[in-house]
Homo-oligomer: A and B are copies of this chain.
Amino acid sequence: MTARSRPEGARAGQATLHDVARLAGVSIKTVSEVVNRTGRVTPATTARVESAVAALAYQPNLSARRLRRGTTGVIGLAVPELSMSGYFNELSALIVRAAAARGLTVLIEQTDGTREGELRALSGPRRSVMDGLLLNATALDEQDLADRLPLPPTVVLGERRLGAGLDHVTFRNEEAARLVAEHLVGLGRRRILVLGGDPTTSASAARRLDGHRAALEAAGLPFDPELVRDVGLWDHDAGHAAVVRARRDGLRFDAVAAVNDSIAIGALRALHDEGVAVPDEVAVAGIDDIVDARFTFPRLTTVDPRRDELAERAVRALTERIADPTRPAVVQEIEGYLRVRGSTLAGADRRDP
């Protein structure tokens, strides 16, 4: 009479709580409590259950657990892209690891750094399979978020400081840009070409520009808007094209401060192509300290954003937000370290690998 239809999926043959309970001679509730370390079970029973678990190689069925608990065990990670800049793949690898340590699976979504892509991650259909979202927002503005309140558990990463009472784990961009500019100014550079996004639409670009200007100001140097260029996508090709264009425009500069390492690497390439000596004629610096920054010619001066710290804190903030949706929003800022190499300081590479 039963509508018997044992699904023969991937887990066919797996032991269940019932099997373990039968073998251990206890009820499934007891097994569940032992497995989840919840409730009080006597040590003797616990031991019996545990040996039954081991004997049957029992693995909890996550689908069932999640169905019951109402969660999915999946968190989303929305980043602009994965395969271009070197930054986001390194960050993603760290986040995947940090999440795995908490039993969470990461669903990676690429937004292409567009408002549409970010909105899709924020409230598209895939959102329904996630317990929470780590959103590296670059194009969204505060109004976009305000329109969608209350949001499911969301932690904003990266540059953008969005209000709306959201948790943030941000890298101190202003600081990073300031470190770079101070370093370049300290080396006697006076005309620093800033390669980044459009400060009127990208808040990250704006904040880095703030840091840059602050450093110039502190040094008593003038700020020339001519020297700020929007490169579009933040990848190698964009950096290359921007430098070629700047030189074609007859712009004079003795340093390049790029908003990330990929742009800086493209810039290095372009300067080399045009026969400009680095760092003698033009010093070049990036931000991110990606692996490749140690293998350019010359090696690239950059800012280490401590991705590991960012990843760890981001996942922790999200799990805490998921556990308690009502707690007040927390903003965490991570400071970077300047790594001086040969692209700004001749001879600095001698100590590097």
Contacts and interface: CB of A to CB of B under 8 A. Distances in A.
Contacts of A353: 237, 240
A269 B97 CA distance: 30
Contact of A63 (B72, B92, B96): B72
Interface string A243-284: 000000000000000000000011011001100000000000
A222 B126 CA distance: 58
B82 A10 contact: no
Given A96-B108, A105-B74, A266-B295, A67 B69 contact: no
A235 to B, nearest CB: 8
A161 to B, nearest CB: 26
A9 interface: yes
B10 A83 contact: no
Contact of A130 (B10, B128, B152, B322): B10
A313 interface: no
A59 interface: yes
A7 B129 contact: no
A71 B14 CA distance: 12
A144 interface: no
Contacts of A289: none
A46 B82 CA distance: 40
A23 interface: no
Contact of A66 (B63, B70, B108, B266): B63
Given A291-B236, A295-B236, A125 B9 contact: no
A336 interface: no
30 contacts: A7-B68, A7-B71, A9-B70, A10-B71, A10-B131, A10-B322, A11-B71, A14-B128, A59-B128, A63-B64, A63-B66, A64-B67, A67-B67, A74-B105, A82-B89, A82-B93, A82-B96, A83-B89, A89-B89, A93-B108, A96-B108, A105-B105, A105-B129, A106-B108, A236-B292, A237-B353, A266-B295, A268-B295, A296-B297, A297-B297
Interface of A: 7-12, 14, 59, 61-64, 66-72, 74, 82-84, 86, 89-90, 92-93, 96-97, 105-108, 110, 125, 128-132, 152-153, 235-237, 240, 265-266, 268-269, 272-273, 291-292, 294-297, 322, 349, 353
Given A7-B70, A63-B63, A105-B129, 4 more contacts: A9-B70, A10-B130, A63-B72, A82-B96
Pairs A-B, 5 closest by C-beta atoms = A9-B70, A7-B70, A89-B89, A82-B93, A59-B128
